[in-house]
Each structure stands twice: as structure tokens, then as C-alpha cells.
């Protein structure tokens, strides 16, 4: 039976590349994001893609996804996240901080919670990967909101890892490294006075050393589809740049 993967943040970057790679592998794909036009473009280009326009940062959006999914789910990729333009600590505000939390953390817990019945309907062990970041483990100047929210997201996923096994689902984290996405563009355009790695990222871009979204997508789909359960769950996954 053809397996089904649900991908959040599917309208651009790594998420869109994962939709493309999953569809190319013959999986049934459920792609969700806020941008209807971008999702419809993906759907026109690919086979076996169901789109759900929803904001996973809201309870309403998560309910829309829950009600729109009509089949068992085998794989879930928590990819959706936001990254503010870097700001000095003195300039952070509560509104932006809370927006990072509701977008980067809450869906890992509360969208997964709503999808438990769909995992239980699948015939085999389900799998969840959540996209993480070095910012989840290391404090980076200028990225306070993102660092704190990704650290919380990493712990949220560890909670899933401990408890979702009771629902027949194994869970792990994926660290993509530096990838040529809109998030990277935001960081490269920042002042080094606020974000000290701006010039480093510009050099990586100029030297062609950033991973591409499709390279990361190929890695992620390989993990979902070509590993045994023990290997999938054993240790966190890190993207390895292919040899030139």
C-alpha cells in the first residue's frame, strides 16, 4: 500500500522540495501551508499531492488540517517555522517572541496530538521528523526569539519521542545545517553588529557551499523510506553535504 506523508511549511524552501521529492518517490503527499497560490502551483506540477491551506500556529488551522485528512498517515514532517530579522536583545518584544513560540513550538505538540488517530489507522509503525537547528542548542547573538523557540521545539519533540511510541509512532530530529533558503537570505542581509555571522554566511553563498533545499529533501525522504525503525530512532539526524 502506498504510504502517506504530511509536510508542514510546504509552500517554499525545504518544505516545497520535500513535497517534490516525496511525490517523485510515489508517496501520497499532504502539503499544508498558509499560501494557497504556492500550494496550488505545487499541486499542478506534481502527482498525488493533496493541499490544505491552514495556519498551523492557530487552533483553527490545526483543526482544518485534522478535518481535511481522510486517510491514514505514515510519515509526518514538522518543517514549518519562522525566523525574524535579527534583533539586538534590547529591542526584542513580547509580541514577536510569542509569535515564534506559537509557530515554531505549538504545532509539534498540538498538531501531532490531533493526528494520533490517523497514525493509529496506518498498518505499520508511523514516523515523525521535526526540523531543528543549531540555534536550538547554541545561543546566537541577534537570534533570541528563534533560539529560544527552537530550543523549546527540540524539547517538545523529545516529549513526542518519549510518548508517541505508545501510539505506534517513532520520532526523531533532523538538523539540516546551512541551506540556501529565504531564512538564510534574511540572515545574510543582516548587519554584523547585530548578527555576527552575516559575513560568514555571505561567503558560504558566494563560494557555493550552502546546501540546496532539494539536497536536504532527498536526505529527509531517504531517512523516512529507507531506514529500519531502530536506525530511524537511534540518534538525531544531521545533513551531510554530498561530495562534489
DSSP H helices in 122-166: 144-163
Burial class (CB in 10 A: 0-12, 13-18, 19+), 123: exposed
The helix (H) or strand (E) run that includes residue 67 is: helix 59-68
Digit-coded pLDDT (tens) for 117-168:
999 999 899 999 999 999 999 999 999 999 999 999 999 999 999 999 999 9
Q: What percent of the chain has pLDDT over 90?
A: 95
| pLDDT reading at 10 higher than 60 | yes
| pLDDT reading at 241 higher than 90 | no
Q: Which pLDDT band, with edges at 50, 70 and 90, does 244 fall under? A: low
Whole-Å CA distances, 61 to 54, 224, 240? 5, 25, 34
The arithmetic mean of pLDDT across residues 229-243, rounded, is: 90
pLDDT at res. 97: 98
Digit-coded pLDDT (tens) for 172-189:
999 999 999 999 999 999
**Boundaries of every domain in the chain:** 4-178+212-238
The arithmetic mean of pLDDT across residues 43-52, rounded, is: 95
pLDDT at res. 123: 84
If we measure between CA atoms, which residue out of 49, 60, 33 comes closest to residue 114?
Answer: 60
Q: Which pLDDT band, with edges at 50, 70 and 90, does 243 fall under? A: low
For 4-178+212-238, CATH number out of 3.30.450.40, 3.40.50.720, 3.60.21.10, 1.20.120.140 equals 3.40.50.720
Whose grid coordinates read 545574510? Answer: 188
Amino acid at each position: 500500500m502506498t504510504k502517506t506523508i504530511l509536510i508542514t511549511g510546504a509552500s517554499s524552501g525545504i518544505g516545497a522540495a520535500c513535497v517534490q521529492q516525496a511525490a517523485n518517490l510515489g508517496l501520497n503527499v499532504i502539503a499544508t501551508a498558509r499560501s494557497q497560490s504556492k500550494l496550488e502551483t505545487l499541486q499542478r506540477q506534481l502527482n498525488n499531492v493533496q493541499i490544505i491551506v491552514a495556519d498551523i500556529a492557530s487552533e483553527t488551522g490545526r483543526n482544518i488540517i485534522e478535518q481535511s485528512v481522510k486517510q491514514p498517515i505514515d510519515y509526518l514532517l514538522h518543517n514549518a517555522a519562522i525566523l525574524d530579522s535579527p534583533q539586538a536583545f534590547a529591542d526584542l518584544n513580547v509580541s514577536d517572541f510569542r509569535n515564534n513560540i506559537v509557530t515554531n513550538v505549538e504545532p509539534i505538540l498540538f498538531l501531532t496530538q490531533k493526528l494520533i488517530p490517523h497514525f493509529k489507522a496506518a498498518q505499520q509503525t508511523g514516523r515523525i521528523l521535526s526540523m531543528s537547528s543549531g540555534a536550538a542548542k547554541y545561543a546566537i547573538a541577534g537570534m533570541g526569539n528563534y533560539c529560544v523557540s527552537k530550543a523549546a521545539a527540540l524539547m517538545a519533540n523529545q516529549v513526542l519521542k518519549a510518548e508517541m511510541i505508545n501510539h505506534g509512532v517513532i520520532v526523531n530530529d533532523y538538523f539540516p545545517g546551512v541551506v540556501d533558503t529565504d531564512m538564510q537570505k534574511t540572515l545574510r542581509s543582516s548587519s554584523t553588529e547585530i548578527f555576527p555571522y552575516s559575513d560568514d554566511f555571505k561567503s558560504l553563498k558566494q563560494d557555493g557551499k550552502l546546501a540546496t533545499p532539494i539536497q536536504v529533501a532527498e536526505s529527509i525522504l531517504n531517512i523516512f523510506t529507507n531506514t529500519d525503525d531502530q536506525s530511524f530512532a537511534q540518534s538525531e539526524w544531521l545533513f551531510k553535504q554530498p561530495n562534489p
